[in-house]
Structure 1
Amino acid sequence: MGRHRKQPATQVRRGSVIALTGMVPAGFAAVTAGASAVNTAEFMIMPLAHGDPAAQPAANAQPDELMHMAHQPAPPVVKSVSLAEDRAAADLPAAPGGIPGVANTAYHHAQDVLAEENPDCHMSWSILAGIGQVESHHAYGKLDAEGYPIKPVYGPVLNGTLAGNIAVRETDGGALDGMDSYARAVGPMQFLPETYRKYAADGRDSGVSDPQNIYDAALTAGKYLCSGGLDMNSEAQRTKAIMRYNNSMAYVMNVMAWESKYRDAAAAAAPVPAAPAPATTVGARM
């Protein structure tokens, strides 16, 4: 996401190391990154819980205020952790519609967390799944049991040489994307490092938010889409939110085509409630 596309020149967008060439549901055009993407996030350093004066309570804070602050979780540490290369992909069965089991769990978990933290947004798992499909095919369907891709997912280097891209300078010294001059999107939900740092969420309650982890990335994507008070039940506001990823109506249609496909597949696979037994009258007389 946040690929900072130039207008317009619709073409097939390339993902990390592999071309994103997944099939699109019938009736919808395949969208890629041909249109311009607007990345509205500004780089923000999260204050550390210890040692940073900005993270310490004010000296004149009242007891109720201190109690409120004590119940607020500290911002997660944003980093990409090193993992062994011989990890095995999780063996969870795919969900209806073909979503990898781990990814499906992550999208539903993000929906549940946001329903509690930001109920007015009405974020659904299926919107996140639509974005996850378009951006990386759910990490190419190869995730370990902890939600990490077997191979890290990276977008193309944004150095201005790829058609449709503008140059985006590195902002965090390569801590998240491994680059030292130009940036690239990272993880299964394809965030630019500066955007991820601003909205970083801890989807595993681990104290760490890693854009490569689908639990963290899905929850972060939900926060990003909901930011500014947007409500996914409003078509106009939902469109505005998705266009933060790629400022293109064709991109929105692509995401929502997959969203509809996944939602319909889940509904079709849901167990049908048993019909109630007919009422009987005990001891009825003829």
Structure 2
Amino acid sequence: MGRHRKQSPATVRRSSVIALTGLVPAGLVAVTAASTVDGANQTAASVQQHVAEDQDDSVPRPPAVAEPAEYLAHAMARQAPPPAPPIVKTIAPQDGRQPAGLPAGPLGVPGIAMEAYQVAERTLAAENPVCGMPWYLLAGIGRVESTHAFGGKADVAGDPISPVYGPVLDGSLAGNNVIRDSDGGALDGLGAYDRAVGPMQFLPETWKHYAADGNGDGIADPQNLFDAALTAGKYLCDGGLNMRDLAQQSRAILRYNNSMAYVANVMAWATSYANGVAPKPGDLPRI
């Protein structure tokens, strides 16, 4: 369902409807700044019925969802990211690892992914309280981008059992930009062209700009759920945006993918994770 279909057990594919793939760096988006703002405002109006009954532009945070004590305890035990800039690289985990056995969160959010989103929420609350980033918005992004690393197929450290990659951006897939290599294959394993990497689907160039260490190991690895969740939060919050305001939240999500259908899907899943009620089919337009 949606725009993600597996190319292989560890590959994310996108529908040809999408004009922008992954997180396209500034300058590659084929829209003007003015049209992006207008699109964000239109998006806010069109999706508001999906994410709030209140017609006020300010979106109050819903009551906290009951959280299984086990993964919450794990999340609280995570080290805070070190003050030094992290090393940006991807690590090849050992074979034979097993998916984390943490209990699932609301609507089946895998426990290890839930933990990563909560850690990112707390870190961002301390580092950038103006943003007001809630865990459930990050979960909405994670759901649409990779179904939380293919249903939580990640070990207790947050590393996927198999690396998560998007399609090669060489022009062979209709609707996707052609993006030539920007990292020498260091993050995406390719030399000629780029592809999105990790459970939150970052392009290598964008990852290098926003890369964050979500689990305190001194490394910012796009494949790691904790690093990816915190980096996604930093990307959405950039520029002083406030996630409590629906229009600003919409504008932030449009950075991820310049599609109003994408915004509607992310907001619908985010709201559902917050209140525990599954989204209706009409809330999830085809991307």
Identity %: 56
Task: Select the residue among 161, 170, 179 that pairs with 1:168.
Answer: 179
Residue in 2 aligned with 1:283? none
Write out aligned runs for 1:261-272 (5 A).
261-265=272-276
Residue in 2 aligned with 1:134? 144
Pick closer, same or farther for the CA change 1:208–1:16 going to 2, 3 Å.
farther
Residue in 2 aligned with 1:17? 8
Count of aligned pairs between the two proteins: 218
Task: Select the residue among 199, 204, 211 that pairs with 1:200.
Answer: 211
Task: Select the residue among 108, 112, 134 that pairs with 2:118.
Answer: 108
Q: Report the secondary structure of 1:201's partner residue.
A: coil
Pick closer, same or farther for the CA change 1:33–1:109 going to 2, 3 Å.
farther
Q: Report the secondary structure of 2:117's partner residue.
A: helix
Q: Provide the rounded CA distance (Å) in 2 between the counterparts of 1:215 and 1:110.
A: 7
Q: Provide the rounded CA distance (Å) in 2 between the counterparts of 1:36 and 1:231.
A: 26
Q: Provide the rounded CA distance (Å) in 2 between the counterparts of 1:166 and 1:20.
A: 16
C-alpha contact 2:16 2:174 (8 A) present in aligned 1: no
TM-score, normalised relative to structure 2: 0.72
Pick closer, same or farther for the CA change 1:196–1:113 going to 2, 3 Å.
same
Residue in 1 aligned with 2:281? none
Q: Provide the rounded CA distance (Å) in 2 between the counterparts of 1:16 and 1:73.
A: 38
Residue in 1 aligned with 2:200? 189
Q: Provide the rounded CA distance (Å) in 1 between the counterparts of 2:216 and 2:111.
A: 20
Pick closer, same or farther for the CA change 1:195–1:33 going to 2, 3 Å.
farther
C-alpha contact 1:20 1:137 (8 A) present in aligned 2: no
Pick closer, same or farther for the CA change 1:256–1:20 going to 2, 3 Å.
farther
Q: Provide the rounded CA distance (Å) in 2 between the counterparts of 1:138 and 1:86.
A: 20
Residue in 1 aligned with 2:95? 85
Question: What letter corresponds to residue 248 of structure 2 in structure 1?
Answer: Q
Q: Provide the rounded CA distance (Å) in 1 between the counterparts of 2:17 and 2:135.
A: 26
Residue in 2 aligned with 1:247? 258
- Deviation of 1:96 after TM superposition, in Å, equals 1.7
Question: What letter corresponds to residue 162 of structure 2 in structure 1?
Answer: K
Question: What letter corresponds to residue 34 of structure 1 in structure 2?
Answer: V
Pick closer, same or farther for the CA change 1:109–1:32 going to 2, 3 Å.
farther
- Deviation of 1:73 after TM superposition, in Å, equals 1.7
Residue in 2 aligned with 1:4? none
Task: Select the residue among 1, 9, 24 that pairs with 1:39.
Answer: 24
- Deviation of 1:216 after TM superposition, in Å, equals 0.2
Residue in 2 aligned with 1:275? none
Task: Select the residue among 219, 226, 241 that pairs with 2:230.
Answer: 219
Q: Provide the rounded CA distance (Å) in 1 between the counterparts of 2:201 and 2:255.
A: 12
Question: What letter corresponds to residue 148 of structure 2 in structure 1?
Answer: H
Residue in 2 aligned with 1:51? none
Q: Provide the rounded CA distance (Å) in 2 between the counterparts of 1:32 and 1:246.
A: 12
Q: Which has the larger radius of gyration?
A: 1
Task: Select the residue among 135, 147, 151 that pairs with 1:125.
Answer: 135
C-alpha contact 1:17 1:155 (8 A) present in aligned 2: no
- Deviation of 1:33 after TM superposition, in Å, equals 6.4
Structure 2 residue runs of 5 or longer lacking an equivalent are 28-81, 278-287
